[in-house]
Amino acid sequence: MKSSKDLVGLRFLSSREISDLVKETLSLKKSLAQSSKPKPSLSWRTFVTLFFEPSTRTRVSFEIAIKLMGASAVLITKESSSVQKGETLLDTVLNLQAMGVDGVIMRHPDGGSPAFIAKHLKIPVINAGDGFHEHPTQGLLDLVTMTEKLGSLKNKNVLILGDIAHSRVARSNIWALTKSGANVFVSGPLTLIPADIQKMGVTYVGDLRTIVSKLDVINVLRIQSERQQAGFFPSIREYRHFFGLTRDKLQDAKPELLILHPGPINRGIEIDSEVVDGPQTLILDQVQNGIALRMTVLKHLIEDKT
Ligand code: NCD
């Protein structure tokens, strides 16, 4: 992060940069818990959250992080922007930069769009999810949540379960976890697994029950139906039967197995309610950690450089 103006993907960060961000986030979280008022280190700054896809967690989390640091956030959606009138995305963001905005946080259905925009802007661009490419702050907050419970992730066994092919969260998790020394497994219908996934240093498992006893973490993903053009599996019922995280598939799991999900969750499809509401599930811890993580990212990209 020291060398880069933007955060477009975890692929481009070193293991050291990733572990520093995780450590700093955990210490910021501790200090936020002790004194409820963080110092407004970004006061009078303005950020645009440019969200061209639906979002609850990521957008609100960025906006809260921005406000906690004393800055303000302006939301632009596709419907409310001049892109709707035929303007290009690049022209839109050049106008925002001309207004003196200090940074753009963007979510876009097209993979690569934050990297393209970042190249043309002087101000930092943070990728809040681009197509099925990357979602770096989600990958980092997942890593923070796992590290908080497990300490070092070296040689820990982590399974990412579900629609790997259409998931930016899967890709950012794979980069973050492999750079942290974890053993990463992926599982899901073969039609939802990229053919060359092992090139990313992960192992495919057809039936999670064959490895469940040695797993430390399962990160469950939603089926990204909005990004699928054809039927990748026969029915939701069949998907749940083979790949949904149900209690019976966890019979042989260690009692301390951690269960994560980036949200939004679809209960009864990729994960059963019994599992969601069980004691090992960290879904809301992930959401909570997202605030401190995003504050840490903003500190690195803005505060430390000005
Ligand atoms: C994810 C996303 O939008 O990429 N959610 C999130 O940001 N927390 C995952 C998803 O939509 O399934």
Instruction: Write the CATH number for 176.
Output: 3.40.50.1370
Task: Tell me the C-alpha distance between 134 and 167, whole Å.
Answer: 8
- Do 105 and 186 share a domain, yes or no? no
Q: What is the dihedral of CA 202, 206, 209, 213, to 10 degrees?
A: -20
Does residue 297 share a domain with residue 268? no
Mean pLDDT for the stretch of residues 91-119: 97
Task: Determine the pLDDT at residue 278.
Answer: 95
**Cα–Cα distances in Å, from 127 out to 21, 47, 109, 122, 133?**
16, 13, 11, 15, 10
Is the domain of 275 the same as that of 146?
yes
Q: Does 175 lie in the same domain as 111?
A: no
CA separation, residue 201 to residues 33, 39, 173, 186, 188 (Å): 37, 40, 12, 10, 17
Closest ligand 1 atom to the C-alpha of 263? 8
pLDDT category, 227, cuts 50, 70, 90?
A: confident
Question: Comparing 14-23, 66-75, 220-229, which segment has the lowest mean pLDDT?
Answer: 220-229
Q: What is the pTM of this model?
A: 0.96
CA-107 nearest atom, ligand 1: 3
Per-residue pLDDT tens digits for 24-65: 999 999 999 987 678 889 999 999 999 999 999 999 999 999
Asked if residue 293 and residue 277 are part of one domain, the reply reads no
**Residue 123 sits in the same domain as residue 189:** no
CA dihedral 163, 201, 16, 149 (to 10 degrees): 60
222, part of any domain: yes
Helix (H) or strand (E) holding 275: helix 273-276
The pick from 57, 60, 137, 138 for probing ligand 1's pocket by mutation, whose C-beta has the most ligand atoms within 8 angstroms, reads: 138
The answer to the question of residue 158 being in a domain is yes
Identify whether 1 is part of a domain.
no
What is the model's pLDDT at position 37? 79
Tell me, yes or no, whether 279 and 212 share the same domain.
yes
Task: Indicate if ligand 1 lies below 6 Å from the C-beta of 138.
Answer: yes
Q: Does residue 3 sit within a domain? A: no
Does one domain contain both 112 and 180?
A: no
Tokens in use for 56? Answer: 């609850």
Hey, what are 67's tokens? 């406000």
Residue nearest to atom 11 of ligand 1 (CA): 264
Residues 142 and 121 in one domain: no
What's the domain count of the chain? 2
Contact (Cβ atoms closer than 8 angstroms) between residue 246 and residue 256: no
pLDDT band for 14, please (50, 70, 90 cuts).
very high
Asked if residue 153 belongs to a domain, the reply is yes
* pLDDT value of position 248: 97
Domain residues for the domain of 58 are 10-134+287-305
Query: pLDDT-derived band of residue 10, with 50, 70 and 90 as boundaries?
Result: very high
One-letter amino acid for residue 184 of the chain: V
pLDDT value, residue 2: 64
**Any atom of ligand 1 within 6 Å of the Cβ of 171:** no
Residue 119 inside a domain? The answer is yes
Beta bridge partners of 72: 46
Asked if the structure places residue 5 within a domain, the reply is: no
Q: Which of 52, 59, 135, 144 to mutate to test the pocket of ligand 1 (most atoms within 8 A of CB)?
A: 135
DSSP string, 116-142: HHHHH-SS-EEEEEETTTB-HHHHHHH
Q: Is residue 165 pLDDT above 90, yes or no?
A: yes
Q: Is the pLDDT of residue 176 over 90?
A: yes
Mean pLDDT over each residue of the chain, to the nearest integer: 95
Residue type, 139: G
Question: What pLDDT sits at residue 125?
Answer: 98
CA 171 / ligand 1 centre spacing (Å) = 12
pLDDT at 155 over 80: yes
Q: Is the distance from the beta carbon of residue 263 to the nearest atom of ligand 1 less than 6 Å?
A: yes
Residue 304 pLDDT class (50, 70, 90 cuts): confident
